[in-house]
Amino acid sequence: MHEALFWDKAAENRVHCRLCRFFCRIAEGHSGRCGVRVNQGGVLYTRVYGRSVASNVDPIEKKPLFHVLPGSKSFSIATVGCNFRCLHCQNATISQWPLTHKEIPGEAMSPDEVVASALAADCRSIAYTYTEPTIYYEYAADIMRLAHAAGLKNVFVSNGYTSTEALEAIAPWLDAANIDLKGFTEVFYRTVTGAGLDGVLSTLRDYRRLGIWLEVTTLIIPGHNDDDAQLQGIAGFIVDELGVDTPWHVTAFYPAWQMQNVSPAPAATVLRARKIGLDAGLHHVYVGNIPGTDGETTYCPNCRATVLARNGYRINELQFDTGRCRCCGTRIAGVWT
């Protein structure tokens, strides 16, 4: 047990958690929505500090982050728990664990050990991923400070529901993030994730305001978020509020967890989403889970030369120097050094 950050005492020994945008009010002996922040004796504790349930060396492109240290390795970690209830979660066995289990699994791994493991594996960053990193904020924050001191970058792969206060506090050590913008209606968000669209949009605005490098992912789910109105809404929001250089990853859905009865997303639907993004003015729209297209290639937004060609998680061609196109010298937005 490790005392949590971002909470206030409330009446009748309750606590008010300020970590994410659910702002849970938690009675004594109970947990918040994430299942891992518990009120004991009027004090809020995190149950997952130092309990790594997954640790792997991944290509940074797997996050997916295409404009952050391309071709490098990222040491990826997670604990159990999540504040969302996404019906299509691919990692539900660990993200939803606290809903059905009392004990907290995981390998005891101190922040120092995480950083040492990343360095030993020749990684250039640490990714807080697989589940929602906000819910193991205290653990992540301590790792991040050590990582920066060791010359490593820090990246979040997140559902985008961190409170403004918590994100502002961690911003000095958070270099980049890939945030899911899962749909563009309140009905979709409430039905499929249990969260609210406005909270995600506000968090995305916070990331941009704080200067954290941002990439956005939308998993295209047939019959749920694949209509032109939602796709155009997402693309327009990114253009207007995050900027045309913000990469948008459109990815094909495959049946998972409680959406086993939904068909996989057709390639044509994902490619239509990409076209919508490009037509809206985005410079970089990438296609995931569909091999054989040019949707993984980074093009110069000025001269359209191939800057970086990919095949899956592998870099096939690199045609830029310190973030500039070799053909015309245009700066390509991202974290390159």
Average pLDDT estimate for 302-321: 91
- Bond prior to 64 in cis (omega within 30° of 0): yes
Delimiting residues of CATH 3.20.20.70 domain(s) in the chain: 51-296
pLDDT at 249: 98
Q: Which amino acid is at 260?
A: Q
Contact (Cβ atoms closer than 8 angstroms) between residue 126 and residue 147: yes
Q: Kindly state the percentage of the chain with pLDDT values over 90.
A: 95
pLDDT at 197: 98
The per-residue DSSP string of 237-261 comes to: HIIIII-TTS-EEEEE----GGGTT
- Please, which pLDDT band fits residue 67 given cuts at 50, 70 and 90? very high
* DSSP codes joined into one string, 49-93: TTEESEEEEEEGGGTT-SSBSTT-EEEEEE-S--S---TT-TTHH
Q: How confident is the model at residue 134 (pLDDT cuts 50, 70, 90)?
A: very high
Whole-number average pLDDT of the chain: 97
The CATH number of 51-296 is 3.20.20.70
